[in-house]
Copies of this chain bind each other. A is one copy, B any other.
Amino acid sequence: MNSIEVRTAAHRQMVDITRQVATVIDGTDDGICHVYVPHTTAAVVINEHADPDVARDLIAAYEAMVPKIRFAHAEGNSDAHLMSTLLGSSVTVPVADGRLRLGTWQGIFFVELDGPRTRKVWVSVL
């Protein structure tokens, strides 16, 4: 298991970590790459990384989807916990001949939901 460090710069932010994840993969690997976020107010997703407007739209939409209810959690970041559970703590990507097999337009994004912070992402190949 390899640990990647991600420094986020905003309260909510999508950080493209595709290259950092790819460096973990050995040239002989074949199987599945597991990318895991050990935080409860962040997530990891796969989506388009060609047009940066897509990531901006996603962040705006995640914020807009949070229901306007009264949350009990004293830290005041229940919205971040909510979107973390909806987006998910891990993604899995096929690996063949030592390369990540993402689709043409796909990249791997760390999703900061309660930053800015210094975060970890754990990567392993099965």
Most buried by B among A40, A57, A85, A89: A85
Q: Is the CB of A69 within 8 A of B58?
A: no
Chain A interface residues toward B at CB < 8 A: 1, 31-32, 34, 36-40, 45-48, 51, 53-54, 56-58, 60-61, 64-67, 69, 71-75, 78, 81-82, 84-94, 96, 101-106, 120, 122, 124, 126
Q: How far is the CB of A49 from chain B (nearest CB, A)?
A: 9
Given A91-B90, A94-B124, A101-B1, A53-B40 contact (CB < 8 Å)? no
In the complex the two chains form, what is the Cα distance from A67 to B32 in whole Å? 34
Q: Which single member of B31, B48, B94 contacts A122 (CB below 8 Å)?
A: B94
